Structure 1
């Protein structure tokens, strides 16, 4: 069965911004990545983390429940000549059934809050190497101009706007923002076997064109093309007009903070 991300997959792969290079430098340092490690990218999407991580390790297992996401990732890996990524259909409940080898690092990008966090940590305890760990990555972004919410509400109903601090991903309530997801990840992991927890953040400004803003809306579970149906083109046209009325320059800048919560077992 397809997920809400089936029709969103090509937009997700094309328009979601990459994570900063500092993230991979942090992971390389914390886990001594030297080309010999095995990584699990859980909730991998089209390989947003797994693809940039692949040159640093021996093998990446990219796991996602949506076949369209895996197809996008596989195509991108082919384009980039990445031969060390295995694309596996599954979700966070399948860790024990995937017959994975010993894993040195599990990365989870903007998806941990949609998982049974306690179960995931417990299941990972069985497959992660003694010095292995978990890296939960969360994107915290400032809101788009209000006109984006207004157009979304007209087409999709009230309460479907991007909201302050909405992540690049499934919609979040104002009381359940990515900042809450970071705190929850820290709390959940601190109660697990991976109780040595720390979060590092990087902030940057991203510049988006009108086409990129529209593409990002189509990449979301709450406004994917299949949900809009035959109103997709009208939505894009009205959003384009509203954005250009708001700023005729057609360029939109917002601040994005990426948080990496790294958890390992306590040192003995």
Structure 2
């Protein structure tokens, strides 16, 4: 499926997950903004477009390095959550639009930087790449942030508290939803698509340049954080459980409580990879 997946939009992909996404995903590392600023020579000028912005995690991190930022996402709940978080953080230079990436440019204008974070694989990649290239300033950049933020690195090294029992969590999800990964109304038996480099080259981009921002920070997480991490995933969004959601959540909380140290877990954050393309 990864090689021959025919694109079809599914509005239920992240239905009901936005509040959980904001809680259950670990923040990007503190050094990410500085690394992007240095690599791209950002100086506070120009505009940022964050495509598939979710609850604004990356948008809000980078917005201060631009005159204006625009976050777009196809999920209404994500846009509502992003707007709420921007208000709480006092970030006033961001506009939010509920918009599918395939509907760009949508009169949004041109941008110095366009970012994608954990989102491009859900889109009609060839179409979006062509349209976004036409929205970039001649000296602009496409920035793809590749990260796993719902769970930390595996390992046996001692931490202040136990690691979350992710293998048993996955088994519990499979017991309720079946062994094949769910995704909205469909399934992903072999995961999402690969082949991004070929798509970008065909669309006329050059590169890529790559930078890495180290992980390894030890973070403390609670039972509520891990529950939200599970519900933030496309394969276990709340609506997929339907009437069984209360039973699943009760089983999940029971599992986590028993595995925790007084409700507390520790994890090491994963490395974040940044891939930069030029138009």
Q: Indicate the TM-score class for this superposition, using the shorter chain for normalisation.
A: 0.7 to 0.9
CA contact 2:113–2:136 (8 Å) conserved in 1: yes
Residue-by-residue CA offset, 1:36-80 (whole Å, 9 max, x unaligned): 210110001111111111111111111100111100001111111
The correspondence for 1:224, drawn from 237, 240, 247, is: 237
Which of 65, 68, 84 is matched with 1:75 structurally?
Answer: 84
Secondary structure of the equivalent of 1:256? coil
Aligned to 1:111: 119
**Maintained 8 Å contact 1:3/1:65:** no
Indicate yes or no: 2:159 matched with 1:148. Answer: no
Relative to structure 1, the CA distance from residue 19 to residue 128 in structure 2 (aligned partners, 3 Å threshold; closer, same or farther) is: same
Q: What's the TM-score once normalised by structure 1's chain length?
A: 0.84
For residues 128-176 of structure 1, give each alpha carbon's deviation from its aligned partner in whole angstroms, at most 9, with x where no partner exists. Answer: 0010010111114546531101211121111349xxxxxxxx9965x54
Query: Is the Cα–Cα contact under 8 Å of residues 54 and 60 in structure 1 kept in the other structure?
Result: yes
**Alpha carbons 1:149, 1:160 under 8 Å: kept:** no
Deviation at 1:259, TM superposition (A): 1.2
Report the TM-score, using the length of structure 2 for normalisation. 0.81
Tell me how far apart the structure 1 counterparts of residues 32 and 103 of structure 2 sit (CA, whole Å).
Answer: 26
Partner Cα separation in structure 2 for residue 145 and residue 90 of structure 1: 33
Contact 1:5 1:224 in 2 (8 A): yes
Work out which of the residue numbers 179, 189, 195 in structure 2 matches 1:158. Answer: 179
Aligned residue for 1:58? 67
Instruction: Kindly provide the CA deviation profile for residues 176-209 of structure 1, in whole angstroms up to 9, marking residues without a partner as x.
Output: 47xx85xx33343244322120222233244432
Provide structure 1 residue ranges, at least 5 long, that are not aligned to the other structure.
162-169
Deviates more, 1:116-125 or 1:214-223: 116-125
Aligned residues: 251
Greater mean alpha carbon deviation, residues 23-32 or residues 203-212? 203-212
How far apart, in 2, do the equivalents of 1:102 and 1:146 lie? 44
The answer to whether the 8 Å contact 1:207/1:254 transfers is no
Which of 199, 203, 209 is 2:215 aligned to? 203
Distance in 2 (CA, whole Å) between partners of 1:20 and 1:247 is: 25
Residues 68 and 145 (structure 1 numbering): CA distance in 2 closer, same or farther, change over 3 Å?
closer
Aligned to 2:7: none
Instruction: Kindly provide the CA deviation profile for residues 23-44 of structure 1, in whole angstroms up to 9, marking residues without a partner as x.
Output: 2112212332222210110001
Q: Which residue of 1 aligns with 2:225?
A: 212
Give SS of 2:215's match: strand
8 Å contact from structure 1 (residues 186, 198) kept in 2: no
Aligned-partner Cα distance in 1 for 2:44–2:188: 37
Aligned pair partner of 2:27 in 5, 15, 18: 18
- Take 1:52 and 1:71, find their aligned partners in 2: how far apart are those partners? 17
CA RMSD, 1 decimal:
2.5
SS at match of 1:78: helix
| Distance across 1 between alignment mates of 2:95 and 2:33 | 20
SS in 2 for 1:55: helix
Q: Which residue of 2 aligns with 1:37?
A: 46
CA contact (8 A) 1:35 1:55 kept: yes
Q: Is the 8 A contact 2:208 2:275 kept in 1?
A: yes
Shift of 1:90: 1.0
Aligned match of 1:137: 145
